[in-house]
Amino acid sequence: MSVRLAFGIMSAIHRPSTVAQLADALAPYPVVVHHDFSQQPDFAITSPNARLVPSPKRTGWANWGYSEGILLLLKHCLEHVEFDYFQLLSPTCLPIKPLCEFAGYVDEGRYQANIEWLSLDDDPQVLMHFAYRTYAPDMSLRYRALWRAYLMYGAEGGPRVEKVGLSIPLAYHGYESGRMSLRARAALGFVRLAQRGLLGRHPFGPGLRALTGGTWFGARREVCEYLVRKAAEPAIEGYFSRLTQADETLFPTLLGNSDFRIGPSNHLVNVYNGGHPRWFDSSDIDRITQSPAYFGRKFPDDASASIRRTVLDRIAPQAAAV
């Protein structure tokens, strides 16, 4: 294949052997690892196709450092790696199809980036679930008020639906009767005020839709350049750097509001257990093999896990075609 792929891995707490196994599975393509040594100081990787990002950011769940780390990883690849298409992965990801098939898909040039999102403008359930972390700085008075409105709405503990790799609560007070309670209506009305910017300024509106989705995007080089450049704009960085879990808003919003040709996610995300995807196991092999996706998440953080070996052994005979 003529297309040049590059892969980025965001690493912090997972076993070096897990990260190395993923890097080996992506060979011969270059793999660049952003590792937060503040969380695992003795981390090392010896895979010949892998390198570490120098001076990495301090990351952590839900904080801006995680988005900064992704952007630093992108910038390093743009400056030091020759590639046509970049795919972001976590240590719990694995290829679930031979890389030659993924390279062929990218080489078709149908899409310039691959990511999926949900719009907060289109669905009250999505709006209620994500408003507090989209329309307010983390732990601000507005954030706490929107969080209280979410609790008043009554979504937690009820049924959920999985969309674009996310788990979305469906319930509200009155859900079982099919009639939204006055309490839930009041909460929804309050959140809509924040959506319209009446509780405090935010950058969203007709020219910038508020979108949320998965972080694990794939993008051609020109799109990566756009992401690094756009995220550095004072208005964008100044606002998103104050949000919680900004990565699930920043990258879908920037890509979804662009003029690039956007295709479906390259990932199969496992079904959720509550608010988090559960680990793949042997019972999932049919879903994995039948999925049109090229990568899967989440695989156990154990290089010897049988499901990891089963998937890698299955794609290995065809990997040589890369």
Average pLDDT over residues 230-245: 96
Q: Residue 208 domain-assigned? A: no
| pLDDT tier at 158, thresholds 50, 70, 90 | confident
Taking the C-alpha atoms of residue 183 and residue 175, their distance in angstroms, rounded to an integer, is 12
Domain assignment of residue 152, given as a range: 119-195
Q: Residue 294 domain-assigned? A: yes
Instruction: Note the pLDDT of residue 276.
Output: 81
55's tokens: 């001076």
- Closest C-alpha to 118, from 305, 3, 265: 265
| pLDDT tier at 156, thresholds 50, 70, 90 | confident
Instruction: Note the pLDDT of residue 62.
Output: 83
Q: Residue 269 domain-assigned? A: yes
21 lies in the same domain as 85: yes
Average pLDDT over residues 9-31: 97
Instruction: Note the pLDDT of residue 317.
Output: 57
Average pLDDT over residues 89-115: 97
Taking the C-alpha atoms of residue 206 and residue 184, their distance in angstroms, rounded to an integer, is 26
Q: Residue 207 domain-assigned? A: no
Q: Residue 204 domain-assigned? A: no
- Closest C-alpha to 119, from 196, 247, 208: 208
> Are the C-beta atoms of 81 and 6 separated by less than 8 Å?
yes
Average confidence score pLDDT of the chain: 94
165 lies in the same domain as 241: no
11 lies in the same domain as 109: yes
Q: Residue 260 domain-assigned? A: yes
313 lies in the same domain as 270: yes
Report DSSP letters for 148-160, one per residue.
Answer: HHHHHHT-TTS-E
Split into its structural domains, the chain has a count of: 2
126 lies in the same domain as 190: yes
109 lies in the same domain as 130: no
44 lies in the same domain as 79: yes
Instruction: Note the pLDDT of residue 321.
Output: 47
| pLDDT tier at 273, thresholds 50, 70, 90 | confident
107 lies in the same domain as 143: no
Asked which of 195, 226, 247 is the last residue of a domain, the reply is 195
Query: Which are the contacts of 163, defined by CB distance < 8 A and separation ≥ 6?
Result: 118
Question: Residue 94's domain is classified under what CATH number?
Answer: 3.90.550
pLDDT surpassing 50 at residue 320 = no
180 lies in the same domain as 100: no
> Are the C-beta atoms of 215 and 139 separated by less than 8 Å?
no
- Chain segment 104-129, per-residue pLDDT in tens: 999 999 999 999 999 999 999 999 99
Q: Residue 298 domain-assigned? A: yes
Instruction: Note the pLDDT of residue 131.
Output: 97
282 lies in the same domain as 136: no
pLDDT surpassing 50 at residue 262 = yes
Percent of the chain with pLDDT over 70: 98
- Chain segment 163-181, per-residue pLDDT in tens: 998 989 888 999 989 899 9
39 lies in the same domain as 61: yes
Q: Residue 264 domain-assigned? A: yes
> Are the C-beta atoms of 293 and 265 separated by less than 8 Å?
yes
Percent of the chain with pLDDT over 90: 87
123 lies in the same domain as 268: no
Average pLDDT over residues 20-43: 97
pLDDT surpassing 70 at residue 1 = no
